[in-house]
Structure 1
Amino acid sequence: MLHLRILLPTKLTEGVVQILEEDPCVSGLAMVRAAAIRPAGDLVLADAPREAMNDIVARLRDMGVHREGTIEIQRVDTWLSSDGFNAEMKAPGSSADAVVWAEVAQRSYEESELNWTYLSFMALATTIAAIAIVLDSQVLVIGAMVLGPEFGAIAALGVALVRRRYSLLGHALRTLSLGFLAAIAATTIAALLGRVLGWITLADVVGPHPATDFIYHPDKWSFIVAVIAGAAGVLSMTSTKAGGLAGVFISVTTVPAAGNIALGIAFGAGHVVWPSTLQLLLNVLGMALAGWLTLALQQFVWSRVSVRRARAMSRPKRIL
């Protein structure tokens, strides 16, 4: 169940309330006159299942509510309501499968924003990955994978293409490229410092690493795993099942490859840099492609559900 909180000018209130009243999937509806100060107007509150939210938001956007007021969508974790249960039964599809596109787009913009926090996490994760390679430690590699924040920007590429938000596409590409460049630069400086202090030697970089050599040995499996992980990550992001993201973070070799690139640059080992660069590109490409295809499939499926929604609601399921 999702909760709608709408602040809007009084001139739009009647139309909005009518839209919500006519929708049998809206289980709760309230309106408070003159409750809003900015914009000056009214407050409308409503509850509806996730499966119905896209159609409701689309109709509100057609009225221009998002331009003259505010539409907020909030998740309701626990609710007790017979009307709410009936609304869930009337709405076609499953709430776990439903994609609320406004929510996905908002999250994509937030997680692909280039800021100091994003750059810091990228630099820290890549530095840990470099240390993991020097020590040949799989535990540290996994830690670096989990710490890296790059998946949000990669998923945003698919959202931008499917929803035709090309400003988001440029936003995500910029964040992704500058994030990896900054992280590699910071880790290269750290590696050079370790080289000067004698903490890291050339043998540590080019010597045998039986536990971590997959980082700089790209192959078909690198791409296949990235595709599977990208699809799983997007499904976790668009549904209520968010637990799958942890598995994505420890499946792809983006941040570890960036750490190995930095080590190769610091020690002038080109034969380390190029395979690691290919590994990085394969993983990013695989996840981006899988994310786009997964989102495109979800949009196709839910567009068909939306077309049949009116007929499905005219034949409500019998509640026993």
Structure 2
Amino acid sequence: MLHLRLITPAERTDEVVRLIEKTVGTTHLVVLPGAARNPAGDLVLCDVAREAGDELIAGLRRIGLDDTGSIAVETIDLSLSRRADRAEAEAPGEGADAVLWEGLTDATHEESTLSFTYVAFITLATMIAACGVVLDNAILIVGAMAVGPEFGPLAGISTAVVQRHPRLACRSLIALLVGFAVAMAVTVGFSLFMDALGLFHRSALEGERPNSAFVYAPDAFSFIVAVLAGIAGTLSLTSSKSGALVGVAISVTTVPAAANAAVALAYGDTNQTLGSSVQLLVNLAGIVVAGTLTLLAQKYFWKKQRGFSRRAA
């Protein structure tokens, strides 16, 4: 279930209430006239089944409530109510399959913003991965994968393509390109510094590396794994299963590939730099393609499912 907190101008409250009442899957409607102060207006509260949430939010936006008032949406972790159970049963479709497009766009917008924190995380992740590839340490490489925040912009690009949101696509692409460029540039300097201290050695990069050689040797599995990870990551975002994102992060070699390219560049190893760069691009492309196709499939099958449920009712 979702909980909606709405601030409505007094003259629009009846229209908002009618929209809520005619939306199948809503319950626990509360209207508090004059309760809102900033902006001034009435406070309307209600709960809605997740599978009906996108329809209701879209309807509220069509009447301009996001401009004249406020729409706040929260996920209800626990609701002990027979009315809520009945509302979920009446709403067409299954809640687990529902996509809140407004929520997805908002979440990916935030995650794909080029900020100091984003750049810091991707830079630190790349530096950790640099230590991992030089030491051929799988634990450090996996840790770097988990720290990297690059899935946010990748999901932002996929969402922007499906929702036809060019500004989100541009913002996500800038965050992705600038983030990796800064991270790799800093990692080149970090590698030279570590070499000056005697902690990094060119011989380690050129020697046998059974645990990390895959980061500069792309093959068919690189794209296959990226596609599978992109599907899993997109599903985790749309279904609010955020825990799955950790598994997605440690299944693709974006950050380790960027780190290996940076270290190889510091030592002038063009073969590994090129191979790692290709590995990076293959993984990025695979995730974006898979994420876009997954969202398109979810949109298509959700419409089919709702249509079937309504005909059955």
Alignment TM class, shorter chain as reference: over 0.9
Structure 1 runs not aligned, ≥5 long = 316-320
Would the alpha carbon gap of residues 311 and 23 (structure 1) be closer, same or farther in structure 2, given more than 3 Å must change?
Answer: farther
- The 5 A counterparts of 1:146-185 are 146-185=146-185
Q: Which moved more, 1:259-268 or 1:22-31?
A: 22-31
Tell me which residue corresponds to 2:23: 23
Q: CA deviation at 1:243?
A: 2.6
Matched residue SS, 1:242: coil
Return the alpha-carbon distance in structure 2 between the equivalents of residues 211 and 311 of structure 1. 55
Would the alpha carbon gap of residues 66 and 58 (structure 1) be closer, same or farther in structure 2, given more than 3 Å must change?
Answer: same
Q: Percent identity?
A: 43
In 2, are the aligned partners of 1:137 and 1:211 still within 8 Å (CA)?
yes
Tell me which residue corresponds to 1:260: 260
Return the alpha-carbon distance in structure 1 between the equivalents of residues 310 and 39 of structure 2. 33
Name the TM-score, length of structure 2 as normaliser: 0.97
Return the alpha-carbon distance in structure 2 between the equivalents of residues 58 and 307 of structure 1. 18
Would the alpha carbon gap of residues 160 and 275 (structure 1) be closer, same or farther in structure 2, given more than 3 Å must change?
Answer: same
Q: Does 1:106 align with 2:102?
A: no
Q: Does 1:240 align with 2:240?
A: yes
Q: Does 1:122 align with 2:122?
A: yes
Structure 2 runs not aligned, ≥5 long = none
In 2, are the aligned partners of 1:29 and 1:47 still within 8 Å (CA)?
yes
Q: CA deviation at 1:198?
A: 2.0
Tell me which residue corresponds to 2:278: 278
In 1, are the aligned partners of 2:23 and 2:52 still within 8 Å (CA)?
no
Matched positions, count: 313
Q: CA deviation at 1:244?
A: 1.7
In 1, are the aligned partners of 2:92 and 2:310 still within 8 Å (CA)?
no
Matched residue SS, 2:73: strand
Q: Which runs of 4+ in 1 moved over 4 A?
A: 306-312
Q: CA deviation at 1:196?
A: 1.8
Q: CA deviation at 1:220?
A: 0.5
Return the alpha-carbon distance in structure 1 between the equivalents of residues 78 and 301 of structure 2. 28
Q: Which moved more, 1:3-12 or 1:121-130?
A: 3-12
Return the alpha-carbon distance in structure 1 between the equivalents of residues 66 and 303 of structure 2. 22
Q: CA deviation at 1:54?
A: 1.1
Q: CA deviation at 1:22?
A: 2.0
Return the alpha-carbon distance in structure 1 between the equivalents of residues 243 and 281 of structure 2. 26
In 1, are the aligned partners of 2:27 and 2:87 still within 8 Å (CA)?
yes
In 2, are the aligned partners of 1:136 and 1:209 still within 8 Å (CA)?
yes
